[in-house]
């Protein structure tokens, strides 16, 4: 009987030691990407979307809440170049949801630009969506990992699509250089093509090269373009110059 009494605590300790640790999720941070410099003096980011109760409940389980993640990226990447005017970035749609065992998500961003006198305006919109089967294990950690992965996919798509739509629909409103607003102003004074985006630090859908195949002397093309290194393994490293199949050509 004494042996049994002493053995019980040991069994309890063994069972506790075998419990796997809860997974951790790094924030989806895209600040390593070069900013898109808009020819305005002010950029306002507004979230105009109200999620349904189901979407709000699902987003609460997401380690990277989609609205917060998207707004942070927009504030990091869309920057004023200093010319008179205003940009309003409106999040029209941003959610993840569990619909009958299918995880769905969507993001829509509108960009409105206006010169100081209101005579010149610009508009474009980027919209992405994704879905996947929800895990059927019943474990909360599995659901959290699935939602994190879905939000990561949506953000990757949005980074590509937003810059593509800006380049396609309003190139004359953009001064994109790898050295910031001062270089943008100097480049503009030299008359280098109306301030069109000079490179796109984004990866394309399947079929376009990735950074793994485009390194030189140990330095990635993304690092060379932005002057920053992506140390966050939670997000992909983009290859400057790549984008959707039509990136850089009018359609």
Give the per-residue pLDDT at 34.
87
Contacts of 52 (CB under 8 A, 6+ apart): 95, 97
With a cut of 90, say whether residue 249 has pLDDT above it: no
Give the per-residue pLDDT at 234.
57
Confidence class for position 241, pLDDT limits 50, 70, 90: very low
Confidence class for position 3, pLDDT limits 50, 70, 90: low
Give the separation between CA 29 and CA 68, rounded to whole angstroms: 11
With a cut of 60, say whether residue 116 has pLDDT above it: yes
Mean pLDDT of the chain: 75
> Any idea how long the chain is?
251
Contacts of 9 (CB under 8 A, 6+ apart): none
Question: Which among 219, 208, 212 has a CA at the least distance from the CA of 236?
Answer: 212
Percent of the chain predicted with pLDDT > 70 = 62
Question: Looking at domain 24-199, which CATH architecture does it have?
Answer: 3-Layer(aba) Sandwich (3.40)
Confidence class for position 193, pLDDT limits 50, 70, 90: very low
Give the per-residue pLDDT at 236.
56
Contact predicate 172/195, CB 8 Å: yes
C-alpha distance across the termini of the chain, in Å: 83
How far CA 84 is from CA of 29, 38, 87, 167, 182, in Å, comes to: 29, 10, 10, 20, 15
134-182: pLDDT as tens digits: 999 889 999 999 999 999 999 999 999 999 999 999 999 998 554 444 3
Domain ranges, ordered by start, for the chain: 24-199
27-80: pLDDT as tens digits: 999 988 889 999 999 999 999 999 999 999 999 999 999 999 999 999 999 999
């Amino acid at each position: 009987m004494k042996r049994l009494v002493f053995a019980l605590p040991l069994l309890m300790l063994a069972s506790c030691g075998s419990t796997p640790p809860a997974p951790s999720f790094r924030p989806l941070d895209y600040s390593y990407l070069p900013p898109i410099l808009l020819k305005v003096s002010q950029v306002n980011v507004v979230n105009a979307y109200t999620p349904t109760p189901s979407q709000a409940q699902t987003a609460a389980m997401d380690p990277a809440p989609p609205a917060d993640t998207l707004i942070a990226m927009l504030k990091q990447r869309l920057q004023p170049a200093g010319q008179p005017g205003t940009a309003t970035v409106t999040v029209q749609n941003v959610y993840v949801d569990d619909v009958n065992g299918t995880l769905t998500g969507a993001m829509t961003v509108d960009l409105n630009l206006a010169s100081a006198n209101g005579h010149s305006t610009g508009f474009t919109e980027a919209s992405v969506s994704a879905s996947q089967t929800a895990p059927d294990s019943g474990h909360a950690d599995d659901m959290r990992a699935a939602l994190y992965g879905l939000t990561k996919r949506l953000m990757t798509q949005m980074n590509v699509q937003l810059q593509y739509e800006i380049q396609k629909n309003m190139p004359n409103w953009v001064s994109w250089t790898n050295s910031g607003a001062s270089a943008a102003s100097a480049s503009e004074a030299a008359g280098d093509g109306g301030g069109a985006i000079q490179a796109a630090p984004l990866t394309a859908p399947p079929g376009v090269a990735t950074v793994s195949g485009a390194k030189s002397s140990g330095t990635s093309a993304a690092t060379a373009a932005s002057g920053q290194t992506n140390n966050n393994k939670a997000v992909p490293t983009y290859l400057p110059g790549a984008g959707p199949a039509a990136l850089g050509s009018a359609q």
